Amino acid sequence: MAPTDKSSFAPPTIERACVIGAGPIGCATAAHLVRQGLEVTICDVDASKVAPLQSTGAGPGRVIIRGGVMDGEDPIAAASTELAEVVPGADLIIMAVPGDACEHVARAAAPHLKDGVVVFFQPGQTLSSMAFLHAARQAGFEGEITPVETVSTIFTGRLTEPGVAEIYAIKRWIAFAAFPAERTTVLAPVLRALLPSLVPVGSVLETSLCNFNAVVHPAVTLLNAGPIDNHRPFLFYHEGATPAVMRLVEAIDFERLAMMRAFGIPSESLLSWFNRIYALNAPSLVYAFRTNEPYAEIHAPTSLNTRLLLEDLPTGVVPLIDLADRVGVPVPAMKGTLALANTILDTDFASWGRTLETIGLGHLDRDGLRGLLGPTR
Amino acid sequence: MKIAILGAGNLGQAQAAHLARHGHEVRIWNRTGARIDEILERGGIQVSGALEGLVELAVASKDLAEVIPGSEAVILTVPASSHEAVTRVAAPHLEDGQAYILHPGHTFGAIACQHVLLGLGCTADLTYCEIMTSLITCRRTGPAMVNASAIKRALPIGVFPSERGFDKVEFLFEAYPGCVRAPNTLKTSLDNLNAPVHPVVVLGNMARIERGEDFLFYWEGVSPGVAKLIEAVDAERYAIGRKLNIDVMTLMQFYENSYVAEGDGLYEKMLNCQPYADIIAPKRLDTRLILEDLPTGIVPYASLGRAVGVPTPACDALITLWNIVFERDFRDGARTLESMGLDHLDAEGLRRFATTGQR
């Protein structure tokens, strides 16, 4: 699994980027990278999202950003539903797809990956870096890959129509780490030149344990399951994040913090992190989530078949529970939330979700994980 | 018969009126005095609906000494979470030969009250009885005024110890025709149908209840996903019943038989259950739907599951999450086999205990 000679890694030159996923995050990242002088291509499985980004007789396709914080129209070099058409030649791949698509994209993209490619997960969920690497290797890719995880998306927004994203906020202080961990500092100047919000941290174990989506989304969704399932609209956080609901979120966050301590990794609470990236000074999670301005626009999903469960359980809570078991940290809030969500959705996320086993790390204990994934800060 | 009714809420009042109409000498008591004063001022209980008129009672008192001694039956119509507390204050007045009836018993009401009385050294020889759920659908309409919209039928009534038979509570079957003789109180305890429903529906609608939103608790709060979780808890209850040789009433059967609700699955049946049409959601989370139904329903189910070797992941997860939300441990003081001194018993031992009452 350990791919390379750790000492020989030189900072890559990044001229071409391929963004996988034409949702709001993909569109915003694409626009931003174009403005940094990169040639950017986009891929999405949904042809309707790709269509407005494709060039026509009238000129190149354009991605349109509105919302006030980074408005503009930026030319896209190529857009396609086929990875084979946009991945080859990319120095940087931006993964802006649901976490559970990671392994699938890795297998499909493997034949087209450029040697030395940097694969950037925004966000990395829990161990998307290692999942991608493992799947690409299994699919036969033998070249160099440096997967990079962030703890969160850099942009917050929504797609108003295909090719048009409304971006409400650009977050500051987004932690990132590479695998192997030594590459993080080598990549930092290159990536920060493109995305100044990025801040290097110790390892992908650290970014993976800072999977805040997994902490927040399933709990808030579960405790609002009735109105979501009955299609009763409400503001997901401003109305859905009541004190009782946030007590469960906080319990899950405490379990996550205990895991970080058990791994010997510096930890930061959800509240502290939230205040930092949104530039708030909220005294509690309830206050933070119910008054955060960008959340005024975030509506609850209208079905329980939502990424907030279907992505954040199998690529977040499930691998987090696996990691917790390896360090002997009890996580009843995570397990209780998972158990009830399993029942409501009539599935068993642990049976098909991401575990250390499925990403080729099943043999590792606490020290093995620390040793492979990298040093702490 | 002389019958004491402890608890003068809507159910206690409706029950008192109904039994008085059947010719019994009814004495009613309430822990807080206002309800008793109202009955005394009105000179009885004004009923409407399935019963009509002003019904006079033999005694309405705040003093247990005036209602329990000399009564052949003592009926508790208080929230299940108060069974133990009321039993503690009733203990000095209880007499040999009385029937001690929990209406309803929720889960383990009879065993829990026996345990309380043993602990207090009360030696009165009682026949305990659990009624599966409230026999009367009723609501308060004013001071000492109650509307009884329906007298339910076909509800199981169980006796503890079951080997004593139903002699002491025969009057219940006369007053409520169609009620069924349960083989023991394990049956009535496992047929606690509030427990699989209430804590789940509140959980799935937690934020809107905490915000005080107006919505129909069942018709708008239950969704297909929420119903799946209810079914999972119900399936655990059913599996426990099989280990105990108890033919548990499933929620599906309950909606079919008691409410004649149509529909294919549980979700449809709950949506077609007409009596739910005007049931509004509570406006806060510290409601009986949690404070009563966890410690006297879900927690005992989970405890029973452990004793008889049935996994209860849905009950366990519910307890975990509700503990977190309430920042307390609902297992503390709840009806577990441990707290009732029965944790040494397996399925066979529990059946034997339900029959003989011998610890």
pLDDT range class, residue A59, cuts 50, 70, 90? confident
First-residue to last-residue Cα distance in chain B: 31
**Minimal Cα distance from B227: which residue of A?**
A344
Q: What is the pLDDT of residue A277?
A: 87
Average pLDDT over residues A88-113: 95
pLDDT of residue A6 exceeding 80, the answer is: no
Using the predicted structure, report yes or no on whether residue B278 has a pLDDT greater than 90: no
Q: Indicate if the pLDDT at residue A7 is higher than 60.
A: no
With respect to residue A140, please indicate whether it lies within any of the assigned structural domains: yes
Residue B152 banded pLDDT, cuts 50, 70, 90: confident
Pick from B204, B222, B317: which is nearest to A339 by CB? B317
Please report which residue ranges of B250-292 form alpha helices under DSSP H: 251-259, 266-271, 288-291
Please list every residue in chain A whose beta carbon sits closer than 8 Å to the beta carbon of residue B206. Answer: 223-224, 242, 244-245
**Distance separating alpha carbons of residues B222 and B13, to the nearest angstrom:** 31
CB contact under 8 A, A242 and B222: no
Q: Say whether both A256 and A353 belong to one domain.
A: yes
Q: pLDDT higher for A296 or A248? A: A248
Q: How far from the centroid of its chain's Cα atoms is residue A67's Cα?
A: 22
Instruction: Identify the band that residue A377 occupies on the pLDDT scale cut at 50, 70 and 90.
Output: very low
Mean pLDDT is lowest, of A7-11, B154-158, B315-319, for A7-11
Token pair belonging to B149: 């919209």
Enter the tokens of residue A111: 């034949």
**Do the chains contact at A244 and B210, CB–CB below 8 Å?**
yes
Provide the shortest C-alpha distance from residue B178 to chain A (in Å): 36
CA nearest neighbour of A144 among A200, A174, A186, A81: A186
Q: Is A32 a catalytic residue?
A: no
In chain A, residues 302-361 whose CB comes closer than 8 Å to chain B: 304, 332-333, 335-337, 339-340, 343-346
Kindly calculate the radius of gyration of chain B based on its CA atoms and give it in whole angstroms. 20
Residue A208, C-beta contacts closer than 8 angstroms, at least 6 positions apart: A124, A125, A126, A127, A129, A149, A319, A323
A 10 A CB-CB count for A287 gives 16
**CB-based contact (8 Å) between A115 and chain B?**
no
Are A138 and A266 members of one domain?
no
CATH number at residue A120: 3.40.50.720
* pLDDT at position A323: 98
Helices A128-138, A102-109: axis angle to 10 degrees equals 30
Active site residue A312: yes
Examine the pLDDT at A3 and tell me if it is beyond 90.
no
User: Which of these three, A176, A208, A240, is where a domain ends?
Assistant: A208
Q: Is residue A81 part of a domain?
A: yes
What is the spatial distance between Cα A232 and Cα B63, in angstroms, rounded to a whole number?
Answer: 50
Let me know whether A158 and A39 are in one domain. Answer: yes
- Asked if residues A103 and A132 have their Cβ atoms less than 8 Å apart, the reply is yes
Chain B residues within 8 A of A225 when measuring between CB atoms = 203-205, 223, 225-226
pLDDT of residue B258 exceeding 90, the answer is: no
| pLDDT exceeds 70 at position A1 | no
| pLDDT band per the 50, 70, 90 thresholds, residue B83 | very high
The answer to whether A282 touches A288, Cβ cutoff 8 Å, is: yes
CA of A318 to nearest chain B CA: how many angstroms apart? Answer: 16
If one compares B359 and B167, the residue with the highest pLDDT of the two is B167
Q: How far is CA A63 from CA A43, A156, B3, in A?
A: 13, 16, 80
Specify the range with the lowest mean pLDDT, choosing from A21-30, A100-109, B230-239, B252-261. Answer: B252-261
List alpha helices for chain A, DSSP H: 24-35, 47-50, 83-86, 102-109, 128-138, 183-194, 204-209, 212-222, 225-229, 243-263, 270-277, 285-291, 307-310, 318-327, 332-345, 349-352, 366-373
pLDDT of residue A2: 47
Same domain? A164 vs A227: no
What span, in angstroms and rounded, lies between the C-alpha atoms of A208 and A320? 8
Q: Which of A44, A217, A253, A322 is catalytic?
A: A217
Is residue A243 in some structural domain?
yes
Residue among B74, B121, B65 at smallest CA distance from B100:
B74
A131 within some domain: yes
pLDDT at A284 over 60: yes
Query: How many CA within 13 A on the CB side of residue A26?
Result: 26
CA distance, residue B97 to nearest chain A CA (Å): 46
Does residue A4 surpass a pLDDT of 70?
Answer: no
Q: Which residues of B touch A345 (CB under 8 A)?
A: 225
Q: How does A7-24 read in b/e, with b if 16+ C-beta sit within 10 Å?
A: eebeebebebbbbbbbbb
Peptide bond into A123 cis (omega under 30): yes
Test A340 with B316 for CB contact under 8 angstroms.
no
- Chain A positions touching B327 (Cβ under 8 A) are 247
* Catalytic annotation, residues of B: 198, 293
- B76 and B4 in contact (C-beta within 8 Å)? no
Mean pLDDT of B279-296: 95
Q: What does the mean pLDDT of chain A come to? A: 94
How many angstroms separate the CA atoms of A347 and A222, rounded? 15
Would the pLDDT of B131 be above 80? yes
Q: Which domain holds residue A281?
A: 212-373
Mean pLDDT, residues A365-375 taken together: 90
Contact: B201, A240; criterion CB under 8 Å? no
**How far is CA B160 from its chain centroid?**
15
Same-domain check for residues A353 and A222: yes
For residue B154, the model assigns a pLDDT of 80
Is residue A198 located within the same domain as residue A223?
A: no
- Which position has the token pair 């955060």? A292
Average pLDDT value for residue range B96-108: 96
Does the beta-carbon distance from B324 to A248 stay under 8 Å? Answer: yes
- A199 with A283, same domain: the answer is no
Q: How many CB pairs under 8 A join A and B?
A: 102
The pLDDT of residue A376: 53
CA distance A286 to chain B (A): 12
* Per-residue pLDDT reduced to its tens digit, B308-355: 999 999 999 999 999 999 999 999 999 999 999 999 999 999 999 999
CA distance B80 to B68: 19
Instruction: Give the DSSP letter of residue B295.
Output: I
Record: contact A339-B313, CB cut-off 8 A: yes
Poorest-pLDDT segment among B137-141, B144-148, B279-283: B137-141
How far is the C-alpha of B195 from the C-alpha of B150, rounded, in Å? Answer: 22
Count of domains forming chain A: 2
A127 and A261 together in one domain:
no
Max Cα-Cα span within chain A: 61
- Shared domain check, A141 and A223: no
ipTM of the complex: 0.90
The DSSP secondary structure of B200-245, one letter per residue, reads: HHHHHTHHHHHTT---BTTTTT--HHHHHHHHHHHHHHHHHHHHTT
Last residue of a domain, one of A185, A208, A231: A208
User: CA nearest B63: which of B36, B101, B103, B38?
Assistant: B36
Q: Which of A174, A208, A242 is the last residue of a domain?
A: A208
Give the per-residue pLDDT at B200.
98
Cα A167 from Cα A158, distance rounded (Å): 7
- Is residue B17 over pLDDT 50? yes
A256 and A351, same structural domain? Answer: yes
The answer as to CATH 1.10.3720.10 being correct for domain B194-356 is no
Contact between B49 and B149 (Cβ < 8 Å): yes
Residues A204, A217 within the same domain: no
Residues of B in Cβ contact (< 8 Å) with A251: 324
Residues A202, A308: one domain?
Answer: no
CB A295 within 8 A of CB A223: no
| Inter-chain touch B228–A346, beta carbons under 8 Å | yes
Percent of chain A at pLDDT exceeding 70: 97
Q: Is residue A4 part of a domain?
A: no
Cβ–Cβ contact A233 with B under 8 A: no
- C-beta atoms of B225 and A344 within 8 A: yes
Q: CA-based angle A43:A45:A46, to the nearest 5?
A: 105
Mean of pLDDT values over A279-285 = 95
Asked whether A72 and A101 are in contact (CB, 8 A), the reply is: no
> What CATH architecture applies to the domain B2-184?
3-Layer(aba) Sandwich (3.40)
Enumerate the β-bridge partners of residue A56.
A59
The residues spanned by each domain of chain B are 2-184, 194-356
pLDDT at B90 over 60: yes
Distance CA B117, CA A160 (A): 67
> Residue A351 sits in a domain of what CATH number?
1.10.1040.10
- Would you give the distance in Å from CA B94 to the centre of its chain? 21
CB within 8 Å: B207 and A239: yes
What is the nearest CA distance from A45 to chain B, expressed in angstroms? Answer: 29
**A226·B318 Cβ contact <8 A:** no
